[in-house]
Structure 1
Amino acid sequence: MRRATRPRPASGCRGTACTRRCERRSNGSSAIPWPRRPRSPAASLRPPPYELCTDPDPAITAVVAAMAGYFVCQGRMPGPPGLPTVRAFQRAQGVVALDWLRRRTGWA
């Protein structure tokens, strides 16, 4: 009986986290076990953030303003080496946070 062995890491992998993600199958194809499951259709029907938190508390508005400012400011900076998409992500989050802030405050 053949003993089960752990697959060898793909070339260029270093460290245990990468080894777990870049394991090779017996046929040579990569098996990448992503941590998230695919979204269900119901997950895409979630309400936007401004509908989830309708409390008019000024402290919540201050937190939303801080988040919007952070994401817009960080999204305008040059991209860090090794993370080419982080600034686009921050810009997109800044747009959502600004929209939320506009709706909370009534600013146009």
Structure 2
Amino acid sequence: VHKTEEAVSKPAAQAPAQTSKAPEAPAQAEAPAPAADENLHKIVSPMVGTFYQSPSPDKDAYVKTGSKVSEDSVVCIVEAMKLFNEIEAEVKGEIVEILVKDGQLVEYGQPLFLVKPE
């Protein structure tokens, strides 16, 4: 019985967090970016983990908005279960937008960067 109560309480605890994120989505939808989004390549997270823009806190970010990347350019690290996985661009182009913040938890398939292909 206690396990059922815990299972019920956990989704209830997550619901307010999802609700607090909802106001951000309309603000992004109103921006003109979605129209231009069709021509842009999305670099997505291949796993659930923590997003890091640089190899360590005292180092510069791998890429910034406006950075040129090639297919094998490392653009960030996603830490999953204490393993640091380098994520490559997989496309040649220019970073147009960074969609997540340093230290943010990311989901599988979540877009991390928008790249204008060359």
The alignment's TM-score, normalised by the length of structure 1, stands at: 0.28
Q: Which has the higher contact order (CA 8 A, sep 6+)?
A: 2
- More helix, by proportion: 1
- More strand, by proportion: 2
